[in-house]
Amino acid sequence: MIVTLTLPQPPSINGYWRTFQNRQILSARGREYRETALWTIKSKKIPSFGDKRLKLSMVLCPRDKRKCDLDNYCKAVLDALQKAGVYEDDWQIDRLEMIRGEPIKDGAIHITIETIENTP
Distance between CA atoms of residues 99 and 40, nearest Å:
22
Report the CATH number at residue 64.
3.30.1330.70
> CA-CA distance, 41 to 65, in Å (whole number)?
27
At residue 20 the predicted structure's pLDDT band, cuts being 50, 70 and 90, is confident
In the predicted model, is pLDDT for residue 3 greater than 90?
A: yes
Give the number of domains in the chain.
1
b/e per residue 27-65 (b: at least 16 CB within 10 A): bebbeebbeebeebbeeeebeebeeebbbbebbbbbeee
Per-residue pLDDT tens digits for 44-82: 999 999 999 999 999 999 998 888 888 888 888 999 999
120 assigned to some structural domain: no
Report helix, strand or coil for 14: helix
3-state secondary structure of 36: helix
Please, which residues bridge with residue 96 across strands? 56
- The pLDDT of residue 119 is 57
Q: Which domain holds residue 15?
A: 2-115
